[in-house]
Amino acid sequence: MEGHPQLRQYYGIFRLLYSLKITLTYPSIQAFHERMGANSGDWFVALSNGKDVPQLKAGLYMVSPNNPDSVHNQNSMHLAAIHELTHFFIFKKAQGDLPIWMHEGIANFEAGKFGTNKAYFKTKSIDHMAEIWETQGIPTLSMLSTLDSDVFCEIGGYAFSYTLIEFIVQRWNFETLLKLIQRFDRFEEILGVTQDSFEADWRAFVTERYLVHHRWATQK
Ligand SMILES: [Zn+2]
């Protein structure tokens, strides 16, 4: 596993949840997709259900990490487990609704994982953000709050959301992020800035950190 300090801790908790039967694993992608009633690509290997899927009880569902199939490998399956486990904690902790950029951004941030569903994610995620930046511009926070998961993927939602969480933890700290999870309705009070200035500062952060120095940008 990669060197993210929280990974091992979480993996221990994951095994505990598994032993309590809060986590269910499936022997193959086919068996998992059949149970989820989903017709998705092979990247869809895990799901954390709070109340979004009413026909499934709350818990974590995933393909066995020992049988990851074409898109994932064992390491990326473990990261997927931590990603889903983080969703589970957020569901338990949040006192109100959170935008999707908070849910997915924190889940990927905790998994130490950038943004794509593929095993080799970092370069691809940055390439994807650069491509979107050049063709349509950085998505707005309201775009990153879309409830349409296809649109979220197309606008680089996973990668840009990761950078939002990275920005919050760097500019403020991890405790502030936890407060936001609990009381997102107090966003401006917790961060001490307006939504607009938060958004403008994040755009500057992501541009400077990932986009202006991107190899494609220098070719222009
Ligand atoms: Zn997720």
Q: Do residues 164 and 202 lie in contact, with contact meaning Cβ atoms separated by under 8 Å?
A: yes
Residues 166 and 210 occupy one common structural domain:
yes
Question: HSE on the CB side for 60, CA within 13 Å?
Answer: 31
- 85 and 103 share one domain: no
Do 123 and 41 share a structural domain?
no
30 Cα: distance to centroid of ligand 1 (angstroms)? 20
pLDDT digits (tens, 9 = 90+) for 43-90: 788 888 776 777 787 777 888 777 767 777 777 777 788 888 888 888
Give me the pLDDT at residue 18, please: 58
Residues 6+ apart with CB under 8 A from 21: none
CA of 163 to the centre of ligand 1 (A): 15
Q: Residue 208 contacts by C-beta under 8 Å, 6 or more apart in sequence?
A: none
Is residue 78 located within the same domain as residue 155? Answer: no
Among 69, 93, 117, the domain boundary falls at: 93
Q: Rounded CA gap, 55 and 44, in Å? A: 18
**Bigger pLDDT: 22 or 4?**
22
Over residues 152-191, the pLDDT tens digits come to: 999 999 999 999 999 999 999 999 999 999 999 999 999 9
From the CA of 87, how far away is ligand 1's center (Å)? 7
Instruction: Name which residue leads in pLDDT, 81 or 96.
Output: 96
Phi then psi for residue 63, to 5 deg, are -70, 145
Q: Does one domain contain both 108 and 139? A: yes
At 220, the pLDDT band (50, 70, 90 cuts) reads very low
Cα-to-centroid distance, 220 and ligand 1 (Å): 34
Domain that holds residue 186: 97-220
Interface predicted TM-score (ipTM) over 0.85? yes
103 CA distance to ligand 1 middle (Å): 7
Based on the domain organization, do 63 and 85 belong to the same domain? yes
Distance 6 CA to ligand 1 centre (A): 17
> Considering the chain, what is the average pLDDT of its residues?
82
Query: Residue 213 Cα, ligand 1 centroid: separation in angstroms?
Result: 28
pLDDT at 20 over 60: no
* pLDDT value, residue 1: 37
Percent of the chain predicted with pLDDT > 70? 80
Q: What share of the chain is helix, strand, coil (3-state, %, to 5)?
A: 60, 5, 35
What pLDDT score was predicted for residue 113?
67
Give the distance (Å) from ligand 1 centre to CA of residue 216: 28
114 and 86 within one domain: no
Q: What is the mean pLDDT of residues 6-34?
A: 67
Instruction: Indicate if 51 and 115 belong to the same structural domain.
Output: no
| Ligand 1 centroid to residue 54 C-alpha, Å | 17
Residues near ion ligand 1 (Cβ under 5 Å): 104, 107
Band the pLDDT of 2: cuts 50, 70, 90.
Answer: very low
Decide which of 93, 114, 141 is a domain's last residue: 93
Distance 147 CA to ligand 1 centre (A): 13
Residues 69 and 2 in one domain: yes
Statement to judge: residues 66 and 139 lie in one domain: no
3-state secondary structure 13-41: HHHHHHHCCCEEEECCHHHHHHHHCCCCC
Total structural domains within the chain? 2
Q: How many residues does the chain have?
A: 220
Lowest mean pLDDT across 87-101, 105-119, 136-150, 179-193 = 105-119
Residue 142 sits in the same domain as residue 218:
yes
Give the whole-angstrom CA distance, residue 137 versus residue 129. Answer: 9
**Listed residues 93, 108, 132: the one ending a domain:** 93
The crossing angle, in degrees rounded to 10, of helices 195-206 and 157-171 is 110
- The reply to whether 2 and 74 lie within a common domain is yes
